[in-house]
A = this chain, B = another copy of it.
Amino acid sequence: MTVTACLLVIGNEILSGRTQDANIRFIAQGLGAIGIALDEVRVIPDKRERIVNTVIECRARFDHVLTTGGIGPTHDDITSACIAEAVGVPLEIHRESFDLLEAHMGREKFNAARQRMAMLPRGATPIRNAVSVAPGFSIANIHVMAGIPRVMQAMFETLAPTLKGGAPLVSVAWHSTQLSEGNLAEGLEAIQARYPTLDLGSYPFERPDGRYGVTLVTKGYDAARVEAAGGEVHALIESLGCTPVAGEPTFT
């Protein structure tokens, strides 16, 4: 059984189009590398009932729920309180995190707003990061991280070794500028039918010089079958009179 995860991106700034998401791809690749399939992403606003209900729903449906955003010191940083509510425990000062933040900032700057960053749901395990010192946390199957990419990435590196995954996701890619999706569709479908546990994808691309092409990607958690299916994809491309080139296309 594949271990699954759902990522909740919490924050109005993605939904308003103010900010380009820079976390989904990093987390998707990081989870794949430890054998956890990112199976859904939801971007939701900073609203209490939306966060609480989404966490309750998704933590029941997926093995892990990861969140980004909403753990800073301002009024719209309500993720920690919402997770506490979703799990049914109080939000309280986490003494060790409080002391670390106070030492890092100095007693004078460590005001009421900043002290909120030391509040964790009771029973949570802090996720340390050297970048901001303010912790993320894990509680049950929920893992809460910052939204700022550099801080999130530091937290993910701390978190990842604590998550139980399976075999890592592996993939084989072949591309060709001579291919078009409409010509390969039938052959690709036949290969997919022979390898139902793998994921065969077909991705058209356009090069800066205006030439089109298609990349065919074979992905899965069984390395031997990925390699076998990748060989069939290679043969399919040749059978269409095209030259397969290994890997993703580069545009440099």
Contact = CB atoms under 8 A, between A and B. Distances in A.
Chain A interface helix/strand/loop/mixed: mixed
25 contacts: A9-B41, A12-B219, A13-B203, A15-B28, A16-B199, A16-B219, A17-B27, A17-B28, A17-B38, A18-B201, A18-B217, A19-B203, A20-B25, A21-B25, A24-B43, A39-B45, A42-B43, A72-B181, A75-B189, A111-B182, A111-B183, A112-B186, A113-B183, A113-B186, A114-B185
Given A72-B204, A109-B182, A181-B72, A21 B18 contact: no
Interface of A: 9, 12-21, 24-30, 32, 37-45, 72-76, 105, 109, 111-114, 116, 148, 150, 169, 171, 181-186, 188-189, 192, 199-204, 206, 217, 219
Contacts of A181: 72-74, 113
B42 A41 contact: yes
A69 to B, nearest CB: 11
